[in-house]
């Protein structure tokens, strides 16, 4: 059956896919702040005066043994569940599975999520992060590209420092989607005594040559924008056109031909190879391209172009355990692991999770892999995560 979608429905659906479906949230949350005088990166650089935002849901028990860490995806922040105010239009992106009585039950677990370094949403008032747009205390100016390269391991280390500041010395589980899944698996490899359970959603064990090349396409529109100026644009005009083009590419890669073609067939878009304006004007855009651009333009309001470049590089540099090969990096994992790839994923393709799962299985580890289904591709791991709610609940309980 062909789905008929009007423009409003399409906008709501894409927003839901990219930010989580709005539900009747039972949680009210607030952003909290953690500060470090300095942070030493995996590559051996020092960042001064680091600030990191976080949110928590539920109550920490007496022996601090009920902590579930949620690690967020590329374009998200730590707003994983709940709302900041009752009239918020959207709840956190995984509100479908985090909350009282839900799969990640906040009546049982203390759930915490933490903003990444160089978070993409650098200008969002509900994001607290240190990255290229931050002020370098040594110069009084934004870092720009003088900010050190950061890795997924750096995100993990910063999270561990925050948890330790709260008196936490172990986790019940770590759970993450997409870029968050990379962090979750590296947690299990880097700090095995902390992690008895790990769930990787739409994830990977390492970034292979194909995925590295795909990610580079996200960076190039920014570098080619005349306003980028080698990353030194903070006193001038930001490279918003390049950032919009990058977000268009990210959106397209995260979805599927099935979904995009349904959009194209809608009455509001009416895609045709012989659309009149593109036929007569080389500068005219097809309606489906305009649809993508409009949505990307809305998304970049609080984003920073340099931050996107740093997140691309962090993802490109990923291999769980940070050894020369995946098998060596995973050798220290003692957690039981659950991989939930999306069968329609064209971004972090299922073979990447299958490789990580197979590596652990060959090493005699307790690991399971179950596929998520749906037409939304990579975004199934956000929008359709509730289809495996019972699996996640049982995994955390055992």
225: in domain? yes
**Burial of 24 (C-beta count, 10 Å sphere; 0-12/13-18/19+):** exposed
* Residue 178 falls in the annotated catalytic set: yes
**229 is a domain residue:** yes
Residue 48 lies in a domain: yes
Query: 104-105 and 98-99 as β-strands: parallel, antiparallel, unpaired?
Result: parallel
Question: Catalytic: which of 78, 115, 378, 383?
Answer: 378
CA distance 211 to 350: 12
Q: Which of 359, 362, 320, 332 is nearest to 185 (CA)?
A: 320
Q: Phi and psi dihedrals of 104, rounded to 5?
A: -100, 90
> Which of 116, 134, 178, 383 is labelled catalytic?
178
Question: b/e per residue, 189-208, with b = 16+ CB within 10 A?
Answer: bbbeebbebbbbbbbbbbbb
What was the pLDDT predicted at 26? 61
Secondary structure class of 361 (helix, strand, coil): helix
pLDDT of residue 27: 84
Out of 113, 345, 357, 383, the active site residue is: 345
Is 138 an annotated catalytic residue? no
Would 1 be classed as within a structural domain? no
How would you classify the pairing of strands 135-136 and 141-142?
Answer: antiparallel
Question: Residue 74: CB partners within 8 Å, gap ≥ 6?
Answer: 120, 178, 179, 250, 311, 315
Is residue 124 a contact partner of residue 287, using CB atoms and an 8 Å limit?
A: no
Question: How much is the pLDDT for 8?
Answer: 35
* Domain of residue 132, residue span: 7-397
Taking the C-alpha atoms of residue 111 and residue 355, their distance in angstroms, rounded to an integer, is 29
Residue 2 belongs to a domain: no
Residue by residue, DSSP assigns 185-221 as HHHHHH-TTT-SEEEEES--SB--HHHHHHHHHHHHH
Instruction: Domain count for the chain, please give it.
Output: 1
In a domain, 131, yes or no: yes
Q: CA 233, CA 137: separation in Å to the nearest integer?
A: 18
| Residue 175's CATH number | 3.40.50.1820
Is 345 annotated as catalytic? Answer: yes
Residue 230 burial (10 A CB sphere; 0-12, 13-18, 19+): exposed
Question: Which regions in the chain score pLDDT beneath 70?
Answer: 1-26
């Amino acid at each position: 059956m062909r789905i008929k979608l009007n423009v409003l429905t399409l906008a709501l659906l894409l927003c839901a896919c990219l930010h989580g479906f709005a539900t009747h949230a039972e949680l009210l949350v607030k952003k909290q702040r953690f500060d470090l005088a300095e942070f030493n990166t995996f590559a051996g650089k020092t960042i001064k005066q680091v600030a990191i935002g976080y949110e928590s849901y539920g109550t920490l028990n007496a022996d601090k043994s009920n902590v579930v860490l949620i690690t967020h995806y590329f374009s998200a922040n730590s707003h994983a569940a709940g709302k900041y105010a009752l009239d918020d239009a959207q709840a956190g992106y995984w509100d479908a599975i985090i909350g009282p009585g839900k799969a990640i039950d906040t009546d049982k677990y203390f759930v915490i999520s933490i903003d990444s370094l160089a978070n993409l949403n650098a200008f969002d008032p509900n994001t607290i992060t240190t990255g290229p747009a931050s002020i370098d205390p040594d110069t009084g100016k934004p870092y720009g590209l003088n900010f050190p390269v950061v890795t997924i391991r750096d995100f993990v280390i910063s999270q561990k420092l925050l948890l330790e500041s709260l008196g936490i010395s172990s986790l019940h589980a770590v759970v993450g989607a997409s870029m968050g899944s990379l962090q979750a698996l590296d947690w299990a490899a880097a700090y095995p005594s902390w992690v008895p359970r790990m769930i990787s959603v739409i994830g990977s064990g390492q970034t292979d040559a194909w995925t590295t090349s795909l990610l580079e396409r996200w960076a190039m529109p920014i570098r080619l924008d005349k306003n980028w100026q080698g990353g030194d644009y903070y006193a001038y005009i930001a490279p918003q056109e390049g950032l919009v083009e990058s977000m268009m590419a990210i959106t397209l890669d995260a979805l599927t031909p099935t979904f995009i073609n349904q959009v194209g067939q809608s009455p509001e878009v009416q895609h045709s190879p012989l659309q009149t304006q593109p036929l007569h004007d080389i500068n005219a855009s097809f309606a489906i391209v305009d649809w993508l651009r409009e949505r990307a333009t809305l998304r970049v309001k609080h984003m920073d172009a340099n931050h996107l470049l740093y997140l691309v590089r962090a993802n490109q540099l990923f291999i769980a355990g940070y050894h020369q090969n995946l098998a060596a990096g995973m050798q220290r994992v003692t957690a039981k692991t659950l991989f939930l790839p999306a069968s329609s994923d064209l971004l972090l393709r299922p073979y990447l999770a299958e490789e990580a799962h197979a590596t652990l299985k060959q090493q005699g580890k307790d690991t399971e892999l179950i596929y998520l289904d749906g037409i939304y591709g990579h975004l199934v791991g956000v929008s359709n995560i509730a289809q495996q709610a019972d699996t996640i609940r049982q995994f955390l309980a055992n």
